[in-house]
Every structure is written in structure tokens, then in C-alpha cells.
């Protein structure tokens, strides 16, 4: 299994280099590559167990977003969505896709896992988190980062149906240069 160890090591090194890079914003293309490295590690670690598909149109690949926005949500899907289903031989799927509309970037991480209990779903979407539990830290962190970075109208939303699956929806501005983001922030401060 030496080739698998080498692949895991290479993937982990790529993720670590990405995390410590000074860039605040990265192209969607690079963010997806990091998710793919994470999936490579988990596929080896879990001996398969799930499939991962991406459907990101080429014209969206240069859109900029804050670093490490996708991986925590995909990680939630791998860790929380499938549980016993992965061990029971059920075909487990995670899908990443997106589109733009009216200068808004919509990205989705969808799984066919166990779903999120209604009370947890309400807590996550409200932005509240139970102080005594680790539940929802990745989701809450990404949601807060989006709302602080981009302001009103941009967020992270989650919908779920027990036994059917979960969809996490990113609502982000379309940004193709850092100057564009700086201009938008200046305009917001002037209002």
C-alpha cells in the first residue's frame, strides 16, 4: 500500500501549503482542487465508501472566494452525513456544483446522507451554536466568515430531509479580482 501512503502524503502536503499561504482569496478552481485532495485522503482512509462529483462550469473557475470555504462543508458531509450507511454498503454521494445569476455566485454541496435533525438545522441556519457542543463549528465558521466578509445578502444556508440528504447553499458575490472586492467594501462603508 505504499502508493496509497504516497498519495495521502502528497494530498496532505498540498492542503497544508494551501492553508498556510498568505492569500485571503483564492480562485474557485484552487478551492475545488483542495477539496479533491481532501477527498483523495478520505477515499483511501475509508476504503472508498462514497463517490464525489463536481459540476463547476469553466467560466466560474476564476471567481474568487475566501480560502477554505468548501472543504469544511464537504468534510461535514463525509463525517456526519453517512454514518452507518457507508458501512451498510449504501451508495453514498457528495456533489459540488454551482452557477451564477445576477452577479451572485451560488455554490452547493449536496449529499444523500442521513440528513440533519430539524432542531440542529434551525440552530445552524440561525447562526446560533450551542456553546457546550462542537456541533456545527465548521458550518457556523464558514457562515460567519461569509457574512462578515461580504455583508448583508450573502450567507450559507442548509436544507435537509432526514433519510434523503442535505444541501448546503453558498450565496456569494461574483468577484474576479481583489480590487473589485476592495471597491465593493469601500462602497458599502460609504452607505
The per-residue pLDDT for 129 is 62
The per-residue pLDDT for 23 is 87
Vertex 155: Cα angle to 153 and 161 (nearest 5): 125
The per-residue pLDDT for 157 is 95
The per-residue pLDDT for 12 is 83
The per-residue pLDDT for 183 is 47
The per-residue pLDDT for 28 is 97
What are the residue ranges in the chain where pLDDT is below 50?
Answer: 131-132, 134, 183, 186, 189-191
Taking the model in full, what pTM does it have?
0.83
Amino acid at each position: 500500500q505504499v502508493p496509497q501512503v504516497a498519495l495521502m502524503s502528497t494530498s496532505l502536503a498540498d492542503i497544508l501549503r494551501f492553508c498556510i499561504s498568505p492569500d485571503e482569496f483564492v480562485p474557485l478552481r484552487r478551492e475545488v482542487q483542495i477539496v479533491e485532495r481532501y477527498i483523495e485522503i478520505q477515499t483511501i482512509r475509508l476504503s472508498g465508501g462514497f463517490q464525489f462529483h463536481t459540476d463547476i462550469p469553466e467560466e466560474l473557475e476564476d471567481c474568487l472566494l475566501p480560502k477554505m470555504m468548501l472543504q469544511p462543508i464537504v468534510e461535514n458531509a463525509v463525517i456526519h452525513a453517512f454514518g452507518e450507511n457507508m458501512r451498510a454498503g449504501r451508495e453514498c454521494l457528495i456533489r459540488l456544483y454551482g452557477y451564477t445569476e445576477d452577479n451572485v455566485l451560488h455554490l452547493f454541496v449536496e449529499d444523500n446522507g442521513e440528513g440533519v435533525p430539524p432542531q440542529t438545522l434551525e440552530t445552524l441556519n440561525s447562526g446560533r451554536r450551542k456553546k457546550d457542543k462542537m456541533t456545527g463549528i465548521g458550518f457556523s465558521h464558514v457562515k460567519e466568515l461569509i457574512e462578515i466578509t461580504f455583508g448583508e445578502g450573502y450567507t450559507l444556508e442548509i436544507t435537509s430531509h432526514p433519510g434523503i440528504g442535505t444541501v448546503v447553499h453558498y450565496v456569494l458575490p461574483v468577484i474576479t479580482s481583489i480590487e473589485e472586492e476592495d471597491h465593493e467594501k469601500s462602497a458599502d462603508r460609504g452607505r
